[in-house]
């Protein structure tokens, strides 16, 4: 089995790490620089930094904070929020990001995916998709889940891959923050149609949920926030459990 990745996520608002349920009711989860350093030391395989209010507020990602976080890390670092151009991405990569992730801007102007991959390579470009179940279909939502589209999840994921995306970060809005497990059926359907890695997001509540995301959902990586931020799951313990289930991860403890 190929190695899997465990990815803590820092959702950033007003310079602080926050976390909510179903994309609302945000609460403070700590200082992003301190959390990033801790996760790097504890054996995270990668780290994701999402400036969740940048798109809504029509501003750039917090580049200076990205620089501070990157200085604490020795693991791959993905940054997103408010990226609308090659120049926006270039600033973040210059400040220490290894990859950039785009969401709303990519749906609104799909050529952005091509432009980023042409300039930086597919390995640098992650397309994030926030989707919610509507009448038995997974529908893509924009601007932090506030704006529904008429685009179906698999349709958009397939186009993103065709345009050069190196990975898909799929967040189930229905599962986000609920701690009831990932959207494994939808994940499995994505793995059937895509040839690029899929990161599962939304719903982690215990170690078994990660096992299920990798076995039932067949995800390549699993991302979580609150269970790590508030100490409900310890990264070293999770890595040991995955190892016992014969699910190897990139970083060996």
Please tell me the distance from the alpha carbon of residue 45 to that of residue 160, in angstroms, as a whole number. 24
Q: Are 216 and 24 in contact (CB under 8 A)?
A: no
Q: Which of 45, 130, 212, 220 is catalytic?
A: 130
CB neighbour burial string for 128-162, b if at least 16 within 10 angstroms, e if fewer? bbbbbeeeeebbbbbebbeeeeebebbebbebbbe
Radius of gyration of the chain (CA): 16
The sign one gets for the Cα dihedral 183, 188, 192, 197 is positive
**Any catalytic annotation for residue 111?**
no
Give the DSSP letter string of 41-58.
Answer: HHT-S-EEEEETTTTTTT
Please tell me the distance from the alpha carbon of residue 50 to that of residue 101, in angstroms, as a whole number. 8
Please tell me the distance from the alpha carbon of residue 246 to that of residue 148, in angstroms, as a whole number. 39
**Any catalytic annotation for residue 41?**
no
Q: Which of 11, 45, 88, 212 is catalytic?
A: 11
The SS3 call for residue 152 is strand
Please tell me the distance from the alpha carbon of residue 55 to that of residue 187, in angstroms, as a whole number. 26
* Of 217, 221, 238, nearest in space to 2 by CA: 221
Q: Report, as residue numbers or ranges, the catalytic residues.
A: 11, 130
């Amino acid at each position: 089995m190929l190695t899997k990745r465990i990815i803590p996520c820092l959702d950033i608002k007003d310079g602080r790490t926050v976390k909510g349920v179903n994309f609302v009711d945000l609460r403070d989860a700590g200082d992003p620089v301190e959390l990033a350093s801790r996760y790097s030391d504890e054996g995270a395989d990668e780290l994701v930094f999402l400036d969740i209010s940048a798109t809504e507020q029509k501003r750039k990602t917090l580049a200076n904070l990205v620089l501070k976080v990157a200085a604490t890390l020795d693991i791959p670092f993905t940054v997103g929020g408010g990226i609308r151009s090659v120049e926006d991405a270039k600033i973040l990569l210059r400040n220490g990001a290894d990859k950039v992730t785009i969401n709303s801007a990519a749906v609104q102007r799909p050529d952005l995916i091509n432009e980023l991959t042409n300039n930086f390579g597919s390995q640098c470009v992650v397309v994030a998709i926030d989707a919610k179940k509507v009448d038995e279909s997974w529908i893509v939502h924009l601007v932090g889940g506030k704006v529904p589209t008429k685009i179906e999840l698999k349709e958009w994921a397939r186009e993103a891959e065709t345009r050069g995306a190196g990975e898909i970060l799929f967040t189930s809005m229905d599962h986000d923050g609920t701690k009831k497990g990932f959207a494994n059926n939808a994940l499995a359907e994505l793995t059937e149609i895509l040839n690029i890695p899929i990161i599962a997001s939304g719903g982690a509540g215990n170690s078994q949920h990660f096992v299920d995301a990798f076995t039932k959902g067949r995800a390549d990586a699993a991302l979580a926030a609150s269970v790590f931020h508030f100490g409900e799951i310890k990264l070293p313990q999770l890595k040991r459990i995955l190892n016992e289930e014969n699910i190897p991860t990139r970083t060996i403890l």
